[in-house]
Amino acid sequence: MVMNSYSFLVGPLVAFGALVVLILICRWVFSTKTRDERTAGRLATLSAPRGDDYGLLVPIATVRTRADAEMLRAVLREGGIRCTVSADDEGADVLVFRADALRARDLVSN
């Protein structure tokens, strides 16, 4: 093997170059800015907007307080209808499955 005067520098330079590449990859993968943007995007898709978008459930009544919604829920449960309450600062919605909506509206209106 022929050795020249700079052969002792090749090994450390290759190791240093590989280390720099690894550091740059780690900075890109573990950057907080990218992670925060991805998290914000996921949260935006998870939060359901206020309104009629409750998936399989439909609102049959909107009341001002959660206590009123719980009273309606008790009436519906006594009638054999599965229901739930979605409440926030603006009011509370009583939700039932679409198939039970007509029967639930009849019970609530009486």
Query: What are the residue boundaries of the structural domains of the chain, listed by start?
Result: 7-46, 57-109
φ/ψ bin of 55: left (φ > 0), alpha (ψ from -120 to 50), beta (otherwise): left
pLDDT recorded at residue 24: 92
Q: What is the CATH number of domain 57-109?
A: 3.30.70.1530
Q: What are phi and psi of 52, to 5 degrees?
A: -90, 10
Q: Average model confidence (pLDDT) for the chain?
A: 80
State pTM to two decimals.
Answer: 0.51
| Spans of the chain below 50 pLDDT | 44-49
